[in-house]
Amino acid sequence: MTNTIIWTIAIITVLGLLLALVLFLVAKKFKVEEDPRIDDVEKVMPGANCGGCGFAGCRAFAEASVKAAVSDSDLGSIFCPVGGNDVMTKVAAILGLEVKAKAPEVAVVRCNGTCEARPRVNEYDGFATCAVKAALYAGDTGCAFGCLGCGDCVAACQFGALSMDPTTGLPVVDEEKCTACGACVKACPKRIIELRSKGPRGMREFVSCVNQDKGPVAKKACANACIGCGLCAKTCIHEAITMAVNIAWIDSYKCKLCRECEAVCPTGAIHGVNFPKPLDKDAVKARIAERKKKAAEAAKAAAAVAKEAAHE
């Protein structure tokens, strides 16, 4: 009996050693060489693994960066929003490349349909997520485009940059914590959250509405809605505002932060944030009127000169 046990242990041990040797030889033969720079790039990454860069995680980002450096000699559109320009500079240094600095971005909630401005027309009594709510119906207010208020964006944010305001029923972005990873953008079924340039010293203008209904319908649903009047686009001399599907949209890269669009908006749908002084609408409107007056006088004078030249 004892001999049987000893022989069994000996045979199992020998088989184990042989199999381990076979596995070692196979692993050695089929070993895939990995660029050591992948580990170096991963070390400088923030380690959030949020997917904001478009890859599965920081390791996948590092692999894509090294691959891009080998094949394209350029990082192209590869960018880590969490680490920002500082991390991308380190990545470029490791790979021996140059990278263009990107303007910092922040999540912006393009809905100003507060509880007061957008009264409820029914009560939702289902599973409290925006995704489920959006799949079932348009929402519990008269606006079919606005925030549903269940906080899917808050749950999606890994950095604690979003919270729900109990007074307005809308999400609030903490700019200091926001990394512009885009998780909230993907989580919102109504697509009311947008990543926009932070702007110089954090100042920016944006239209806080995505309602595509025509003016009277939009206004009836929400007192703060963009009614698509186009007054802002007509006022802007920088061509920073375009109109599409009854909504105004401000190009943050063309906007000069003159705040004229904000002053002339009849519903307050255009918001200016982080400006050092409150908006003086009367002063801005007076400036616009003076500019139009001078333009009209100049046009009149030019017409007179042209008329005289025609008679000569």
- Measured CA to CA, the distance from residue 42 to residue 61 in angstroms comes to 8
pLDDT at position 75, please? 81
> By C-alpha distance, which of 113, 106, 108, 107 is closest to 170?
113
- Averages of pLDDT over runs of 10 residues in the chain (312 residues) are 79 89 82 81 90 89 87 79 91 87 93 92 91 92 94 96 95 95 95 95 96 94 95 96 96 95 96 95 95 92 84 68
Q: What whole-number distance in Å separates Cα of residue 271 and Cα of residue 97?
A: 39
Is residue 125 helix, strand or coil? coil
Does the global pTM surpass 0.95?
A: no
Signed CA dihedral, 175, 180, 184, 189: sign only? positive
Domains of the chain, CATH where assigned: 37-95 (1.10.15), 106-195 (3.30.70.20), 199-305 (3.30.70.20)
Which segments of 191-269 are extended strands (E)? 193-197, 204-207, 241-244, 247-250
> Which among 157, 152, 160, 213 has a CA at the least distance from the CA of 181?
157
Q: DSSP alpha helices (H): ranges in the chain? A: 2-29, 37-44, 58-71, 84-95, 130-136, 152-156, 183-187, 215-221, 231-235, 260-264, 281-311
Q: SS3 of 272, please?
A: strand
Confidence at residue 35, expressed as pLDDT on a 0 to 100 scale: 82
Q: Name 119's Cβ contacts closer than 8 Å, sequence gap at least 6.
A: 141, 142
- How far apart are alpha carbons 178 and 174 in whole angstroms? 6
Q: What is the pLDDT, as a whole number, of residue 24? A: 85
**Alpha-carbon span 45 to 41, nearest angstrom:** 7
Q: What's phi and psi for 219, nearest 5 deg?
A: -65, -35
Which residues have C-beta within 8 Å of that of residue 158, sequence separation ≥ 6?
48, 50, 181, 183
The pLDDT of residue 56: 87
Q: What does the radius of gyration of the chain's CA atoms come to, in whole angstroms?
A: 30
Q: What is the DSSP letter of 74?
A: S
